[in-house]
Amino acid sequence: MPLSPQDALVDTAEVLVVGGGDAGISSAARLLRDGWHDVVLVEPSPVHRYRPLLKDVGAGEASMRSLERPMGPVVPTAAGRSRTPSPRSTRRRTS
């Protein structure tokens, strides 16, 4: 993914977590609990999709929107946010 001037955030991070799926969000939360302060989470999607429910979408039992949540509430509360020029890019900084 190309970096923009806003990515100074990324350049200076103590810890960079790539991907805001379950693993990335859990890792960022764990790092904060363990005392790291400058954790940046890079996630290209503005929404978090709960993948286990994808099969329900495929079966016509749920809509794609029903398994989407904005990234904000699912990222550790110490986080801040900035966006890159790419419409599918979201970065959150924890500090």
Ligand X SMILES: Cc1cc2nc3c(=O)[nH]c(=O)nc-3n(C[C@H](O)[C@H](O)[C@H](O)COP(=O)(O)OP(=O)(O)OC[C@H]3O[C@@H](n4cnc5c(N)ncnc54)[C@H](O)[C@@H]3O)c2cc1C
Residue ranges in contact with ligand X by CB under 6 A: 1, 18-24, 42-45, 51-52, 54-55
Beta strands in 1-95 (DSSP E): 15-18, 39-43, 47-49, 68-70, 79-83, 90-94
| Nearest residue to 48 via CA among 29, 31, 67 | 67
Q: What is the CA radius of gyration of the chain?
A: 14
Closest-CB residue for ligand X? 21
User: Smallest distance from the beta carbon of 72 to ligand X, in angstroms?
Assistant: 14
Looking at the Cβ atoms of 12 and 26, the one nearer to ligand X is 26
Nearer to ligand X by Cβ, of 19 and 72: the residue is 19
Closest CB 25 distance from ligand X, rounded Å:
7
